[in-house]
Amino acid sequence: MRLTRFTDVALRVLMRLAVAEDQEPPTTREVAATMRVPYTHTAKVVARLQHLGLLDA
């Protein structure tokens, strides 16, 4: 199965937020830096996940 880069980042963002459930949620910049993904790409992913109702931003 092949994933697009967008889908790969979306899954990684959701997994990162799931691990941080007991802590204060990280910012988009922190998540992007941790995953070594450009902030702009991560911000687009987060906006789309918010639009789909998968996370609150």
Cβ pair 24, 31 in contact under 8 A = no
Give pLDDT, residue 21: 74
Give pLDDT, residue 44: 96
Measure the CA–CA gap between 13 and 15, rounded to whole angstroms.
Answer: 5
* Chain centre to alpha carbon of residue 54: 11
Sites in the chain below the pLDDT cut of 70: none
Whole-model pTM: value is 0.85
Cβ pair 51, 15 in contact under 8 A = no
- Average model confidence (pLDDT) across the chain: 91
